Structure 1
Amino acid sequence: MTKAELRRWAKRVRAGLPTAELSHQVAGHLARFLAERSAKHILLYSAFGSELDPAPLQTLYPAHYYLPRARTHGLEVHPLPCPLVRHRYGFLEPAPHAPRVETGVLEAVLVPGLAFDPQGWRLGYGQGFYDRFLAALPPTVLTLGLTAEALLLPALPHDPWDVPVRYLATEQGVRPALREDG
């Protein structure tokens, strides 16, 4: 299947999942994983449509949380709490005048996606915001793709500019992505 066909398939599958329940299960696993690694500066995302929502993590794990704001040049990072505005696609994002921080403060980045594969490749929405953002992070930052097991596919097509996540978080737990080179 092409990426466009996979996106349509993933949206249909995800629409039929118990997203709220899965989000809470994944948040519980994330809280344990992040605590074991003492990660205290975590970039969340605002759930869009039927995406898994990382927001429940904030009540389970004490840390400093941040949200991204998409700009034409990439993602900006804003500390929470901050003023939020509704994006044209319907999700909340930091207001343009909200304080910003440099990405160097981040220890973990939670990454949304329509689907993932065991190697950590992600099927996004095709705009490249997260790939550009992930490519600029130091290798010490934990990158975690949040997905339901039903959307974990054996393999996804990927382009040279795509950046895989290092860990996958599902309702079954958090596990390292299987690197193709080892």
Structure 2
Amino acid sequence: MDSDHDDGPAQYASPPCFMHELDPEFHAPLSDWTDVRRWRKAERERLIAARLAVPADVRTAMSQRIAEGLDAVIGDIAGRMVSLYWPFRGEPDLRAWMTSVNERGGRTALPVVIEKARPLIFRAYVPGDRLEKGVWNIPIPAEGDPVLPDIVISPIVGIDPACYRLGYGGGFFDRTLAAMPFKPLVIGVGYELQRIPTIYPQPHDIPMGRVVTEVFEA
């Protein structure tokens, strides 16, 4: 799921500004959506590379801390439907936490891309259920009727102080939340290194309700 609708080709006259790599507080002077989309693409690549550079064992430890933070934020999970995700490109791995949710009386689901530029659906999933390859070869439940989660756990590429999430650029996240018949608790999860001063939020961007990193909730 993604927080910015910047799919599609775009042409630029000059390369993006990288002052943010020298000074994290630097905000590039972005005048329109073309500039924002261009900046987001460069920032996305930078943040994913930084995430992948973290040793696997360190990411595992941080994922455990994030799971503990989720428990602290959510509280009693019994009877609640939680949508998670299958970890991709260094994202926090919460599959063990997914198992614990089911053990404690909760239910879990995974998001499924049905069509480009359309909202996601959620299918119930319990560890051990049959999976098949979805978009980007990410595993998805092979069958099952759509469900509506009470809690949506969404991985971030970047996050700003207003809880606006930088995603992969497909726009699925915002379309999905806008289409839901009720507002779930939406929690962005990621690492502290993914905090940025702003994503330059646009009218279509929807902020997270909460954010949890390896230093717990903020």
Q: Same fold (TM over 0.5)?
A: yes
State the match for 2:139 in structure 1.
92
- In structure 2, the CA distance between the partners of 1:40 and 1:102, relative to structure 1 (3 Å rule), is closer
Supply the distance in 1 between the matched residues of 2:184 and 2:209 (Cα, whole angstroms). 9
Deviation of 1:127 after TM superposition, in Å, equals: 0.5
Gaps of 5+ in 2: 1-16, 18-38
Task: Give the structure-2-normalised TM-score.
Answer: 0.72
RMSD of the TM alignment (CA)? 1.9
Supply the distance in 2 between the matched residues of 1:112 and 1:157 (Cα, whole angstroms). 19
Is the contact made by 1:39 and 1:108 (CA closer than 8 Å) also made in structure 2?
no
2:206 is equivalent to residue 157 of structure 1: no
Supply the distance in 2 between the matched residues of 1:168 and 1:59 (Cα, whole angstroms). 21
Supply the distance in 1 between the matched residues of 2:137 and 2:169 (Cα, whole angstroms). 18
2:157 is equivalent to residue 114 of structure 1: yes
Match of 1:11 among 26, 41, 48: 48
Task: Give the structure-1-normalised TM-score.
Answer: 0.85
Deviation of 1:140 after TM superposition, in Å, equals: 4.5
State the match for 2:108 in structure 1.
65
Deviation per CA, 1:27-55, whole angstroms, max 9, x where unpaired? 11112222257672100011111111222
Bigger-Rg structure (1/2): 2
Ranked by relative contact order (alpha carbons within 8 Å, sequence separation 6 or more), the top structure is 2
Supply the distance in 1 between the matched residues of 2:79 and 2:181 (Cα, whole angstroms). 15
Gaps of 5+ in 1: 176-182
Supply the distance in 1 between the matched residues of 2:79 and 2:215 (Cα, whole angstroms). 21
2:77 is equivalent to residue 32 of structure 1: no
| Identity rate, percent | 25
Question: For structure 1, which segment, 69-78 or 143-152, has the greater mean C-alpha deviation from structure 2 after superposition?
Answer: 69-78
Q: How many residue pairs were aligned?
A: 171
Deviation of 1:171 after TM superposition, in Å, equals: 0.6
Question: For structure 1, which segment, 64-73 or 33-42, has the greater mean C-alpha deviation from structure 2 after superposition?
Answer: 33-42
- In structure 2, the CA distance between the partners of 1:32 and 1:110, relative to structure 1 (3 Å rule), is same
Deviation of 1:130 after TM superposition, in Å, equals: 1.0
2:118 is equivalent to residue 78 of structure 1: no
- In structure 2, the CA distance between the partners of 1:120 and 1:91, relative to structure 1 (3 Å rule), is same
Deviation of 1:87 after TM superposition, in Å, equals: 2.6
